[in-house]
Structure 1
Amino acid sequence: MNFRKILPLLLLFACSLYAQDNMKDKKEQVKALKVAFLTSELDLSTQEAEKFWPLYNVYDDKQFEIRHQKMKAFKNRLNSESLNKISEKDANILLTQMEAADEELFYLRKKFSKSLRTILPASKILKLKKAEDDFYRKLLQQYGDRGKRR
Structure 2
Amino acid sequence: MNNLLRTLLLLCLLATAPAMAQNGGRQGGRLSQLENAKIAYITEKIVLTQDQAQRFWPVYNEFTAKRRDLNRRMRTLRTDNPDGLSDVQIKENLTQALALRQQEVNLEKEYFDKFQKVLSIRQVGKLFVAERQFTKEVLKRVADRRGGMPPNGPGLED
TM-score by length of 2: 0.73
Does structure 1 residue 65 correspond to structure 2 residue 69? yes
Q: Which runs of 4+ in 1 moved over 4 A?
A: none
Aligned-partner Cα distance in 1 for 2:26–2:110: 31
CA deviation string 1:32-76 (max 9, x = no partner): 110011111111111211111110011111111211x2122112x
TM-score by length of 1: 0.77
Equivalent in the alignment of 2:45: 41
1:85 offset after TM fit, Å? 3.2
Gaps of 5+ in 2: 6-24, 149-158
**More contact order relative to length (CA 8 Å, sep ≥ 6):** 1
Higher helix share: 1
Identity %: 24
Residues paired across the two proteins, number: 127
1:143 offset after TM fit, Å? 0.5
Gaps of 5+ in 1: 4-20
Aligned-partner Cα distance in 1 for 2:111–2:46: 16
CA deviation string 1:74-120 (max 9, x = no partner): 12xx112xx11322211111111111111111111111101111121
Note closer, same or farther for the CA distance 1:26–1:66 as it changes in structure 2 (3 Å cut): farther
Aligned-partner Cα distance in 2 for 1:65–1:24: 17
Note closer, same or farther for the CA distance 1:71–1:23 as it changes in structure 2 (3 Å cut): farther
1:22 offset after TM fit, Å? 3.9
